[in-house]
Structure 1
Amino acid sequence: MPEFESVRTTAEAIGRITCIKTGEEIGLLYQWDNGETQAALYDDGIPSTQVCSDHSAEPDVGVKHG
């Protein structure tokens, strides 16, 4: 049985994801204890997730873009 190098156990929300057209919050960006990041997008109240381990996370919390 293969061993996994990095096992995810806990995650912390590190940023909010907002729609660039409406400014509405559409999800959260999480960072796992092994350094991987994961986006959790809201879908009618039910979060859906996407793992983004190949991308560096630069949180953009509270910044509004014009």
Structure 2
Amino acid sequence: MEMFPEHDRLFGCTVGFISRVGSFMGLTPMIESSLIMVTGGVTELAFYMSEAGFAAAATLCLIPGRSGEP
């Protein structure tokens, strides 16, 4: 929360969080079901979730820390 200016916190966090959660997590069951139907195995699910985890970790590494600023 501290990475946003005070006047933008509520709106910016809410819109960004809801749009990303809705677009990514909302499509996850459909994508995973499609992968199982196409490939016939569940190994691709692990790759899909690993890629999602790496993308989230990379995003967190790119966010500047502002905890020491007023």
TM-score normalised by the chain length of structure 2? 0.24
Relative to total residues, which structure has the larger helix share, 1 or 2?
2
Higher radius of gyration, 1 or 2 = 2
User: More strand by proportion, 1 or 2?
Assistant: 1
Q: Report which structure shows greater RCO (CA 8 Å, sep ≥6).
A: 2
- Report the TM-score, using the length of structure 1 for normalisation: 0.25
